[in-house]
Homo-oligomer: A and B are copies of this chain.
């Protein structure tokens, strides 16, 4: 999937690179405001960011895909309805509370859209709402409405999309921005999401802006194609979010691109953002790149890849740089045994970092190979755990992506000609610390 091979020595170096990615396509501005609030369900005050992305002119060329979770958030329900509207003029995004299954949640989202539309001089139906954060709590609309004017006043293209990339973050360690430039204009995308990530149609909050002049239908087709091959093949923790949303939106003020070049550029931006989301996944020490080939169809290849990437035991082995490839076979076998009993796996071949560890139905292991696999795992490590000051609460020692290397796992099953790549990550103390006490 990945199209870059970057390394960063510090947070400052990463930030300088992000700023270089952040230039907005023509026709868009972003504004962010932050304020303190207290949820009705918890005694502790918190800080919320409201991010507004606005087009100079509402545009009919927009596409959006949403979670398939059976309990979608209110903004997802509202957003699905917006797809039938003639044009999109603004997106209003809040973090901290995701507005999922809270009583009156849809009305709350619509109230925000109405006020944002009034401030921007566009209909409420031209505003797409998005929310991310705690599931279950009610959106503090009465505390948000007085803050909206500040976000609208802040609308600007001076710092490009970087303020929006920061405004939508929750547990993300750093903002994620990726771009592609074509002769006729550019595509720039941002993403948030570090946990509750195994998208089923789209990932939690991705916004892709372009000035390239493409039609609504072409944009929607290109987005579906790109998402299927990128965001839908990633997992951090198998928990498909209730808020997954990916939006692609063209201002149309640039030139008409070559259709194939546009699709490739959009897919590249989606692939790069997918890499970023996994690499910044909660507690991730290693990104796993699982390449399954020889499958009868893409669904089988993706299922086997995800079974490996989601195996708690294999995730822990990768975390420990432990060449426990037995757990790889366990993960393939549990999925095949439960879901694909007709697959003939007698010729299975497995390689880790290019080192063959299994072929023709049996392990091919010795001490030298185990050491080589360990060396490969260590080379792909983003950081090692640092003993926490309180003895219990692990925090990542880096807040930038040091490199773009991955643990590369090749699975050849010899049951067809289809291949697919799945991105996943290891399971670590930092993930446990992050999520055992997310809200307190």
Contacts and interface: CB of A to CB of B under 8 A. Distances in A.
A357 B429 CA distance: 29
Contacts of A357: 136
A336 interface: yes
Interface stretch (A162-170, A185-193, A321-329): A321-329
Contacts of A439: 322, 324
B136 A322 contact: no
Interface in A59-105: 67-72, 98, 100-103, 105
Given A242-B329, A242-B333, A435 B101 contact: no
Given A43-B367, A322-B436, A392-B387, A70 B331 contact: no
A344 B98 CA distance: 23
A301 B217 CA distance: 40
Interface string A219-239: 000000000000000000111
Contacts of A437: 320, 322
Given A317-B436, A320-B436, 10 more contacts: A69-B337, A100-B329, A135-B324, A237-B312, A238-B311, A239-B311, A239-B327, A324-B439, A391-B391, A429-B433
Interface stretch (A45-53, A172-180, A249-257, A358-366): A358-366
A334 interface: yes
A332 B322 CA distance: 33
A241 B330 contact: yes
A433 B337 CA distance: 29
Given A367-B41, A387-B392, A432 B435 contact: no
B365 A137 contact: yes
A109 interface: no
Contacts of A102: 362-363
Contact of A330 (B42, B242, B336, B340): B242
Contacts of A134: 324, 326
A358 B361 CA distance: 49
A6 interface: no
A431 B316 contact: yes
Interface of A: 40-43, 67-72, 98, 100-103, 105, 134-137, 195-196, 198, 200, 237-242, 310-313, 316-317, 319-320, 322, 324-327, 329-338, 340-341, 343, 345, 357-358, 361-363, 365-367, 370, 385, 387-388, 390-392, 394, 427-429, 431-440
A316 B282 CA distance: 12
A337 B101 contact: no
Contact of A326 (B135, B316, B341): B135
A150 to B, nearest CB: 28
A70 B336 contact: yes
Given A70-B332, A392-B385, A358 B101 contact: yes
A432 B435 CA distance: 14
A286 to B, nearest CB: 11
Contact of A327 (B135, B311, B320, B392): B135
Contacts of A433: 429
B312 A71 contact: no
A316 B432 contact: yes
A183 B269 CA distance: 72
